[in-house]
Chains A and B, each alone.
Chain A
Amino acid sequence: SLAKKIKEQKMGNLVEEYFEAHSSSKVLTSDRTLQKLRKRRLNQQTLHELLKNAPLAYAAEIRDLNEQHESLFSKWMLQLHLGFNIVLYGLGSKRDLLEKFRTSLLLDSVHLVVNGYFPSITVRSILNSITEEVLDHIGTFRSPLDQLEFITKRFKEDSSLELYVLIHNLDSQMLRGERSQQILAQLSSLPSIYLIASIDHINAPLMWDQTKLRLYNWLWYETTTFNPYVEETSYENSLLVQQSGSLALSSLTHVLHSLTLNARGIFRLLAQHQLEKKDNPSYPGLSFQDFYQQCREAFLVNSDLTLRAQLTEFRDHKLIRTKRGADGVEYLLIPVDESTLADFLEKEDEDV
């Protein structure tokens, strides 16, 4: 009971620590900012070069560690074939490990690699690549659920079809949503689809409930590699790095999520308009007056001023660009490519 008591005490401490951390709204930190630091901000390119020069510490030990994990490959194969799916956790990038698994064992069989950390990935694209490349099916589906049903049917009919799916970072921003996880779980529950995934976020297991866990049928493997997350963090827009110009889908959704309902509606209007005109190469953008009219009709703004304020906010976040046309009228454009915009609108529809 001594151990129990200690444990209880620890528990109590933990709780206290939590409240301690969140009790005072006032936070004592110094007011220094990076701006005042005399150093310039690094951009992505120079960062990469600098890191390439920096030696990786403990390379030998890390290699030992990886070899240890690699010895498990044949066991993974067996377990995959027995209906389990494998999930890897632990510190360090598991990309190289999975890549090695792929090159050493999967070269002869049909396999699909999904880069979850890629910010524009959606479940739709995963399903598309399955139907188009694995099943040689041309055609579109009205919803992911239909597509999933089709895949299920095909895999059940044809027992010779086998597919290995490797997902790097199952817990990334784009895949962690409830619906995508549901679809992936159903996909992984098919007996002839074998799934290996890696997770990194500390709260990743929170995204699965009992039903999904059942469908996934995970076997957990701790694979701490200490490899740096090179690919994974290259998409992570860190505070310390200068933002690159183009907008990614994930950042788009992020900014939009923090806005009010009306602001989102305004942006949607603009996006829809731009998509409708996407075939017209000389489309200059929506003029401010037209846009104002449309927003008014949708009850999104009540005055010229509010719309302007809203547009200023968009411009600050680099969501829109204004251009003055030949006739001196302001035209509004979203500087994002069409596919991303379409994906965004689809996602919005799902959420609503």
Chain B
Amino acid sequence: QQIQEDLNKQLLDNLVSFLSRSHSDFQEKTTKWTCRMKFREIPTAAVVLGVNVTDHDLTFRGLSDVLQDNITPYVALLEAKDCPAIKNLMQKLMGQLMNCDIEVDSLEDEDCVQVPQNRIRCSMLSLISWYESVTKKTDSGTPSKKRNSSSRHWQSPPVVVIFKDMESFTTKVLQDFIVISSQHIHELPLVLIFGIATSPMIIHRLLPHSVSSLLCIELFQSLSCKEHLSTIIDKLLLTSLFPFKLGEKVLQVLINIFLYHDFSVQNFIKGFQLCIVEHFYSQPLSVLCCHLVDLKKRVYSLSHAQCENIRRLPSFRRYVEKQESGKQIELLTNDSFLKKETERLLEDLYVYHENYVSILRCLHVFTSSLPKYPLGKQIRELHCACLENQVWETEEYESSLQLARMLNKTDLVSMLQQCVEILTSSSGKEFDKTVEKLKEFLTQFQNLEAEASQERDVSVSSQKELQKKTDLYHLQKTLLELKESRRSKKLTKFEMLRFEVVDYIDRLVRKYLVPADNRTLHEIVYFNAATVLRGHLNAAPRTALHTALNNPHRYLKNQALKCDGGGISNKAPDICIVYKLHLECGRLINLVDWLEAFSTVVMAGEEPNADAASSDQVDDIIHARFIRAVSELELLGFIKPSKQKTDHVARLTWGGC
């Protein structure tokens, strides 16, 4: 558990730092812009952020930090849910600004301000007077009090107000605030920043012309979430930093949720986190999922039971079956031998990862420039394809190789150069040879240059010859000859080389990009329970209810419940019977008929021990059971009482049977 928390933390830290880095350039732009604002209208920055609202928290926090450090100590962050009316907005704004002030000041000297926090009297006027008092203090007293240099330049630092979610503000509040603050803009230099999830059109839709003319809007665009995703995948999955890996199906699930549901990077991270938790919780051998440094110690501290667990892994069994019999026995009985072997195998796995990643990048360099992207544009698609099965057996790979054989030289050279770079930067040791080979290719290409020009000369001369002949017969003959020669054409040296290169890449792929499922002991490092993950992240309560009501046998393992679909079994629980009967109805259901149908079904079930004398009693019980089942259905939201007709209920779902 401890390890896993560590891992988790490490991972999250990495992510957060990465996210803030990706935002930083964009933040810089905004800050620069805030610096050179003018005093006529309210300067406004509209920041288009995309629909993944959940990720924006981090952006805004970063933004306000940057602003606070560089420009002005007065930054307020407003959220729509805190400001249902203009009064609340002002209160919130005041509170935050004064707090900011206290925070900044308290860094330098403790005793200077005691801003009274009476939130009742929060008006624009008091805000202005407060502002004046603060700025005057800065002016009159010690400029050095403020640490940031900008406030020394600026006699009055601007007050920045960030509206986090522009769309969810009420129009009236927003308009009122803008109108009010525009009247005081001379005393109180305000800068507004709108966070917009949809498109800049929304500003004009929310604000009438008279209000939006008070603003001086500049638009900023943030990175799209897809780019975030690819960088995150790049940093998280395609590194050897983290020993924990995702299996193909799991990755597919996560990416699907991202692309088809919410575009939220945060949710992706949550899913990833869940994978880690799930893996370390369910897989007893996940202790071995650690860095190479710790591996040896942990392998040697394994208990006997854990060794048995290793032996039980399917991939290990496959491995054992391939060994000769003497070694097999050793592996299956001798613990210490097994440990040694395990360590070796895990080290292999580690090396495999390093090689895998760099070769994957090389292959991506090749395939991403091909027309139509048979293997996908992004590296994640390639990664999925490689994990899924042996990539060289797929059609897409075949076609991409064919396309690669038709590449022209400049592209090829540049790609090779990129590959060399990747391989040299990767830490794997096995690539010295490869790099050399590729470099050799490169030099050969350079040599080719000269030959190629010669060749061109030849062809040009033949062309000239062609022009000389004027005789029709001769012309035909030479043309034929040319054609002949072209057909039987010995491949030019360049083409030969090209084939060679492609073949070499092909060989590399075959060697290193073996899917992880085929490796021994991959279970320790890979998490592959995609269904569990999907169940927890992307649940379908309606489906669960439907199956439980339609087919209770799924949950209650009783022989009596097993029946063909469609029909109504009289042995099912009450609520299932009632549900099935209600499926057969239209939009409105008559309660009396429903009750009768129910009692018919139930009576049929209890016929064997029916007693004529107590039939009234039984009737009452059935009535009670019916009432219970109907009110349960009402609670579940399948029906609701209807006023259209007496004693009828309306169905809220449709279809059925």
Contact = CB atoms under 8 A, between A and B. Distances in A.
B587 A22 contact: yes
Given A91-B544, A199-B541, A238-B634, A58 B647 contact: no
Interface stretch (B305-313, B521-529, B551-559): B551-559
Contacts of B656: 17
Contact of B620 (A27, A50, A90): A50
Nearest to A19: B654
A3 interface: no
A315 B249 CA distance: 62
* Contact-residue size bin, chain B (C-beta under 8 Å from the other chain): 35 or more
A135 to B, nearest CB: 21
A211 to B, nearest CB: 6
Contact of B539 (A17, A22, A89): A89
Contacts of A64: 557
Contacts of B267: 214
Nearest to B1: A78
B627 to A, nearest CB: 5
A71 interface: no
Given A202-B545, A220-B536, A78 B277 contact: yes
A219 interface: yes
A228 interface: yes
Nearest to B537: A220
B632 A21 contact: no
B621 interface: yes
B555 to A, nearest CB: 5
Interface stretch (B13-21, B30-38, B222-230, B590-598): B590-598
Interface in B531-565: 535-539, 541-542, 544-545, 548-549, 552, 555-558, 561
Interface stretch (B199-207, B335-343, B636-644): B636-644
B441 to A, nearest CB: 42
Interface string A7-31: 0000001100110111000011111
**Interface-centre pick from A14, A18, A201 (highest chain B CB count, 10 A):** A201
A224 B555 CA distance: 8
B544 A222 contact: yes
Contacts of A222: 535, 539, 544
A228 B8 contact: no
B476 to A, nearest CB: 51
A57 B561 CA distance: 11
* Contact-residue size bin, chain A (C-beta under 8 Å from the other chain): 35 or more
Interface string B210-241: 00000000000000000000000000000000
A210 interface: yes
A182 B549 CA distance: 32
Contacts of B284: none
Interface in A217-256: 217, 219-222, 224, 226, 228-229, 232-233, 236, 238-241
Contacts, number: 194
Contacts of A298: none
Contacts of A153: none
B503 to A, nearest CB: 34
B586 A28 contact: yes
Interface in B578-637: 585-593, 619-621, 623-628, 630-632, 634-637
B281 interface: yes
B589 A57 contact: no
B511 interface: no
Main secondary structure, interface of A, reads mixed
A342 interface: no
Contact of A224 (B53, B542, B544): B544
Contacts of A139: none
A153 B203 CA distance: 34
Contacts of B588: 27, 29
A228 B632 CA distance: 8
A163 interface: no
A238 B277 CA distance: 44
Contacts of A30: 590, 592-593
Contact of B541 (A34, A90, A210): A90
Given A58-B556, A200-B636, A233-B635, A75 B544 contact: no
Given A29-B648, A226-B573, A79 B627 contact: no
B277 A82 contact: yes
A91 B630 contact: no
Contacts of A211: 53-54
B635 A219 contact: no
**Interface-centre pick from B548, B561, B585 (highest chain A CB count, 10 A):** B548
Given A30-B593, A84-B274, A54 B624 contact: yes
B654 A18 contact: yes
Contact of A42 (B270, B548, B627, B644): B627
Nearest to B632: A229
A176 to B, nearest CB: 11
10 contacts: A21-B655, A27-B644, A28-B586, A33-B647, A47-B627, A51-B624, A51-B628, A91-B636, A224-B544, A239-B649
Closest 5 CB pairs of A and B: A220-B539, A214-B54, A50-B624, A91-B548, A61-B556
Given A232-B635, A240-B626, 5 more contacts: A21-B587, A29-B589, A29-B648, A50-B620, A224-B548
Interface of A: 13-14, 17-18, 20-22, 27-37, 39, 42, 46-47, 50-51, 53-54, 57-58, 61-62, 64-65, 75, 78-79, 82, 84, 89-92, 145, 182, 199-205, 210-211, 213-214, 217, 219-222, 224, 226, 228-229, 232-233, 236, 238-241
